[in-house]
Amino acid sequence: MIVEEAERKRIIAARNKALALVLLGFVVLFFAITIAKRSGHSAAETKAALEGTTAGAGSVAH
């Protein structure tokens, strides 16, 4: 009976750690999305900046 209880606690602890990692992953994901949204740059502006060109408000760099 003692061995079964120890095994049960080990399994629960492992599951709790896995759940904590998943929740931490969601926190990091939402933080990254928030930062990206607050930066105010569109995908076209970011691509243009990386290519060293200027993109107007409605233009898309190809």
Provide the whole-model pTM: 0.56
Domain ranges (residues) in the chain: 2-51
> What digits encode the pLDDT tens for the residues 7-46?
999 999 999 999 999 999 999 999 999 998 888 766 777 7
Q: Is residue 57 scored above 60 in pLDDT?
A: no
Instruction: Report DSSP letters for 14-52, one per residue.
Output: HHHHHHHHHHHHHHHHHHHHHHHHHH---HHHHHHHHHT
For 14, 15, 17, 32, 35, the CA distances from 20, given in Å and listed in that order, are 10, 9, 5, 18, 23
- Between CA 13 and CA 21, with CA 18 as vertex, the angle to 5 degrees is 125
Separation of alpha carbons 13 and 51, rounded Å: 49
In one letter, which amino acid is 48? A
